[in-house]
Structure 1
Amino acid sequence: MMSLALLALFGLGELAAAQDAAPASPVRFGWQASTPVMTFWAGFELKTYEAQGLRLTPTSFNDNAPEIEALVARQLDLAAVAPAPTLQAISFGAPLKIIAGVEYAFTDRQGVHWSATNLIARKDTGIQSLKDLVGKRVAVFGLSSNWYLALLDRLREANIDPKSIKFLSMPYTQMEGALAHGEVDAAIMTAIGAFHASQRIPTTLLMTSDQITGIAIDMSQVIAARADWLKDHEEEAVRFLMGMLATRKFIEDDVAKGGAGIKAIAQKTLKLDADTNEAFYRLRVASAGRELELINSLDLPKQTFVAYGRMLTDAGQLRGRAAATFEQIVDTSYLRKAFSRLGMSWDNSKVASQ
């Protein structure tokens, strides 16, 4: 359980004390353990979700499609999934709603790129630009993933036929080995995976997250649930988001103090060596709080969904259907209630969800 001091910091002390005597509400949560999202790894370690009176049962998936299928089939209650395949599923009639973002890829006001993923290549392949990918093997996390669909757009803009490239779908955890052993020539990898690969073999950085998507502020994942589950379990949904917000606050505050606490959690939970852990912090975790210059914590940028709707349409992923509108897919009411119950202010000048 979180310390009483930490609970008090988030205004959760009375709630936690009351819940010590009350049975925890069960929530079946889908996530992707191979994706290093500290909002979850740290939250599990700090027990921020238990502090909200929840008993999470996490189930890990290696791809978005089976995770979304499990959510639709009521095998999960909440799930952290990529926005593009979730938008695709809703456009085909899946009864889902997206209620929060998770972590972001963006360029802050100081011009620093906080990249969730990078497109890198083995240096010995001679790949220096997108045109050099023709005839090559490129690893991607699913053929409906955000980054794959965005890369298709970049290829078409460069007059490159995506069919001239062999795309191979695999979990992020397999990409480093596949690249190192010459099983693929390039990969869209997590930022830390790309760093780790560069320590094993010479690599070339081709594109960062924002260069791949062309989106100013993107979401690595979103929180989705069935609309009927949300209606019947508003309390659990709000508490889950309160746990996420508490975790984000801990990370933000720790980063402001130098990051010793979150580095220790990352090293323990992700089992990273010291150099990789430092790189993970520097490349990804240290962004915590920087996004608040642009967006309310965990909010959902409308322009991102518009962009992904266009990508899905252009890639033929919707098979002639119209992409679901922002209003059809997003419901921020649960997030706003979580803000209110934590005593946090919602800044209406940050119009990400308008």
Structure 2
Amino acid sequence: MADVSTAEETSADHLFPIDETPARRVHSLLHRYPALSPMLVLVLACLVFGFANSRFIQPTNLSIILQQAAVVGALAVGQTLIILTAGIDLSVGAIMVLSSLVMAKLVSDGGLPGIVALLVGFAVAVVAALLNGLLVTKINLPPFIVTLGTLSIFTAATLIYAQGMTISLTPGGVLTWTGRDISLGGFHLTVGVLMMLALYALSAYALRQTAWGKHLYATGDDVEAARLAGIRTNRVLLSAYVVAGAVFGIAAWILVGRINGADPNAGLNANLESITAVVIGGTSLFGGRGAVVGSLIGALIVQVFDNGLALAGMDPNYQVLAVGLLVIAAVAADQWIRSVKS
């Protein structure tokens, strides 16, 4: 016992105690809870815009913000899974639009039942994401280059398939069900919003409570260390793309319900908007750190700034400027956390 006591007293922690400065405490808190800082930004923004214009905090306006965030918020779930592996997907919007057009056109032109069209469009999204995953894992191409190339491929396929035409659907069908209005007190939400929230709940559970989620974090943090620990990293990476593809298929369904049809020009900025939501939400572009709920907060922050600045009568250009500054601030914060940690 005496030897153990002596060993404890002469440990490195006793010889070189860590100075718990305020910066270290803040770093430790932010590293443990990545969604904390964007949550503070969201609350502060809501308070400021609420004081600036009382219309901002009215249930009708808050409902609009949630509805506007539904599509990008859903895409951000899949984007989060990929960025957690230290990858990135520039083709998410193109996959969603292609999938939505397949769904709508099979019903409108092909006369197929809505449920069949939905499943086919869902399969298209999964196969497209699977292609990205195979190129990354089997040929070892960088995710940025792969998805930059497939962005053009999927966009071209969408335009060729749609022949430059938009498709309108009759409300009340399976595909437009996600656009159905639901009243919750003073709030008017849609089924699509609730589906988006369900996606976040399921993905948060999978990432935090399952072996797959832990392997995903480990692979993104250090792929070689994860491989040496016995994790089949390529399988984990491929599964992340496949699951993300399934999420993009659901996002396509939400999009069809929101616009009551399909448009080849819809979601032109969805690729970058999903990345913006994930980055502002505290997920590290270097992989291995972040929480999926942060992406929801990030998507809401973007919509809150757009809505709040519009109500304040600001020039739309300043709305874009505000989002750009938020992205830079989020990346800078991530770099600071990593540098202090080291």
Is the structural similarity TM-score above 0.5?
Answer: no
TM-score bracket, shorter-length normalisation: under 0.3
Q: TM-score, normalised by structure 1?
A: 0.25
Q: TM-score, normalised by structure 2?
A: 0.26
Bigger Rg, structure 1 or 2: 2
User: If each structure's helix is expressed as a fraction of its own residues, which one has the higher value?
Assistant: 2
